[in-house]
Amino acid sequence: MKKIITAVLILTILTSTVFTSLSYSAKGNITYPYGVTDEMTEPSYWYDKALPDENKVLMRPEQIEKVTQDSYTQEDNMNIDLSKMSESFDADSLSDALASFSIPGSELYIDGELIDNDSYFSAIREAINTTSYSGEMNNIYGICTKYAEMRSYPINGITGYSPDDTDDEFQVSALSVNEPVVIRQKCEIKGETFYYCISSICTGWVNGNNLAICKDKAQWLDSWQVNINSDDFIVVTQDKIVTEKSVFTPYASEVKLTIGTILKLVPTNEMPALVGERNTWNNYVVYLPVRDSQGNYEKKPALISQHNSVSTGFLPFTQKNLLNVSFSCLGNRYGWGGMLDSMDCSLYTRMIYRCFGFDLPRNTTWQQMIPNTHIDVSAMSDTDKKNLIKTMPAGTLLYFSGHTMVYVGTHDDTNYAISDLGTVVESVGDISILNAYSVVLNPLTVRRGSGITWLTAIDGIVLTVPDVDIKNCTIKVERNCKDAETKVNVSYNGMELYEGVNYTVNYGTNSITVKGINNFTGEATADIITNHNYKTTVKKATLSANGSVVTKCADCNSIKNSSTIYKPSVIKIAKTSYTYTGKVITPAVTVKDSKGKALKKGTDYTLSYSKNRKSVGNYSVKVSFRGNYSGSKTLSFKICPKPTKISKLTPKSKSFVAKWKKQSKETSGYEIQYSTRSNFKSKKVVTVSVSSKTSCTVKSLKAKTKYFVRIRTYKNLSGKKIYSSFTNTLSVKTK
């Protein structure tokens, strides 16, 4: 996910005689990407550049909580509900697993110094084996008292493949102050203690100096759990707050509170008269997690100056608030996985959304797996993609491989986004990779290293807000009786929507049915108004025997026949069965009319595919006709698991042993078929319901008999199995 071309920093304008590499703003020597002006860097500029009504609450707290809960329960998702984790674990098994890593083969540098991999990592293994917990253990509950790095190994220092590597290769993520962890192992090395921790987003090693140990689960839960509807806590809604220096309250001196940090307010009846030497006037009084001299958890009062940008309770989920929070980090440095007390692209989006009560997963892939939020746009043209994004609310998350960004609005028919990024290629000029390493606002015309624009690269959208019902839109439809042309216009709060992008149309004789797609839902019917020289009364509109539309205008009594309509007769999907690849599968569809003429996609029909077409399962594509064609048809297809391969058949007495290659991804198990006939007539079946198993003994067979064998994988879906293709048939003769 690292070092992917993801954003833009330097303006490059190529003219016939001049090449300028920087564009200076009115504020001094601040530079912006091509297409960005000084006024655009204020969030208020974008308040009216996306979905109308920036102050409308997009989701209620209970809806936000459901998104979070769905992210916890989604299959294969890595978000974890820490409060529901099992209470005990086998410490020895975990220790063995943590110490069984392979020593890296590449040259590595820590803080710029070359290390000897064998001795360095062997020492880590030894430390884990000799200082870790053992036996059956109960969970240990911890709270972060400082901004804490999570790492792949219990080590300090930035690790890179060269002395000046900008990314820490062993950085996993970072945790905010007061963020909870479940501790499952420890390692004491070079005079320091590291804990192997589970957070809600990932697992890794955390330096013990950044954690406080709670006495029990109840104390731990009380320190961080909040009610999404309450206002007895604050959320930091600016890039960071550093508490003021104090010699009287050293625990609260110069503590860094990053965006999205949640701290409970001290109740009124527990408010101290002084915090250290200070009165509490014009300050929020919060409980700060503190690590005592023994490493145990305490909570102590601390002051947060009133002028800082914080919210009591979670912010209302509006476009205005999303923009304000996103722009509060503009220009801040990039840090892979949270290194250098900074954020990368997905940590940035996670912490923005945390200000509203969401608990988004850690990385770009997992964020797109939250149920009912992902829109696959990989098969869309750039024009359709741009138009779809234009109708999204500000704050919508946009994705391509390895990068995520926050949509802010559309200016001059160009989409803009803000993101925390590493490198990029400008919108204009030669392909020259620029090191941005900052939170940057840019148009989606910037490019990746391959030269394609971000708009072209975007393949997924995460829309956490509920879809807009098409019934809440304004639908205008008019037919000109001179040429029978029907015009449809659909808008939402004055914003134009796009056919084939936000909705499809099913054309009738005197009415149409509009159905929402992507970020719109539901369907609505609208009457057709016939326009003849601005006279709007329709007396009759029918379909004649020869297939012509006949419109009779009551005002002028004229009759006009349209061109002949041929009904669609060939509607065919390229294939009905595909093999799982991990990528979105979009079957081609062929559509022809009764005269054999190929119909034109977008003009004569639109296609709408099932969502999430990456996993094994059953899917469909709906062909919706328009223009001179009406009706719709749904075609089905399926994605099957990858097949396996027989590696060996070993004869035994009245039996044989079958071995095959493991195929565990998107697979529930294997089906072995065997028969004394090569056409598998009168076949027998053995099912192996564990995908990790790679061998099976087939017993109770006839001695000295030749058997033909084949194997296929399967996945269970709602009580039914979807099978892969069979392996090649092999034979074995029993003893």
Sequence letter at residue 244: E
646-733 domain in CATH 2.60.40.10? Answer: yes
In this prediction, residue 549 carries a pLDDT of 46
- From residue 336, give the alpha-carbon distance in Å to each of 237, 345, 674, 709: 21, 8, 53, 50
Three-state secondary structure call for residue 132: coil
Q: What are phi and psi of 403, to 5 degrees?
A: -145, 145
CB-CB contact of 462 with 368 (8 Å): yes
Q: What is the C-alpha separation between 121 and 108, in angstroms, rounded?
A: 11
CB-CB contact of 635 with 623 (8 Å): yes
Q: What is the C-alpha separation between 419 and 405, in angstroms, rounded?
A: 5
CB 114: neighbour CB atoms within 10 A?
11
Three-state secondary structure call for residue 341: helix
pLDDT tens by residue, 210-233: 999 999 999 999 999 999 999 999
Give the CATH number of domain 568-640.
2.60.40
Helices and strands of the chain, counted as H and E runs: 9, 55
* Residue that the structure tokens 């807009």 belong to: 468
Of the candidates 244, 83, 241, 250, which has an alpha carbon nearest to the alpha carbon of residue 147? Answer: 241
- From residue 476, give the alpha-carbon distance in Å to each of 387, 489, 530: 19, 5, 12
* Residue that the structure tokens 């940590």 belong to: 347
In this prediction, residue 26 carries a pLDDT of 52
In this prediction, residue 655 carries a pLDDT of 95
Give the CATH number of domain 63-223.
2.30.30.40
CB 309: neighbour CB atoms within 10 A?
15
Q: What are phi and psi of 263, to 5 degrees?
A: -130, 135
Q: What is the C-alpha separation between 254 and 60, in angstroms, rounded?
A: 35
CB 228: neighbour CB atoms within 10 A?
15
CB 430: neighbour CB atoms within 10 A?
10
CB 619: neighbour CB atoms within 10 A?
19
Sequence letter at residue 725: S
Residues of the chain with pLDDT under 70: 1-27, 75-77, 481-484, 530-568, 594-595, 627-628, 630
In this prediction, residue 357 carries a pLDDT of 97
pLDDT tens by residue, 590-623: 998 766 778 888 888 889 998 888 899 999 999 9
In this prediction, residue 157 carries a pLDDT of 92
In this prediction, residue 129 carries a pLDDT of 95
Same fold, 13-59+317-462 and 63-223: no
Average pLDDT, the chain: 88
Burial annotation 524-533 (CB, 10 A radius, 16+ → b, else e): bebebebbbe
Q: What are phi and psi of 538, to 5 degrees?
A: -105, 125
Spans of all domains in the chain: 13-59+317-462, 63-223, 229-312, 468-554, 568-640, 646-733
* Superfamily of 13-59+317-462 according to CATH: endopeptidase domain like (from Nostoc punctiforme) (3.90.1720.10)
CB-CB contact of 312 with 147 (8 Å): no
Residues contacting residue 353 through CB under 8 Å, at least 6 positions apart: 360, 464
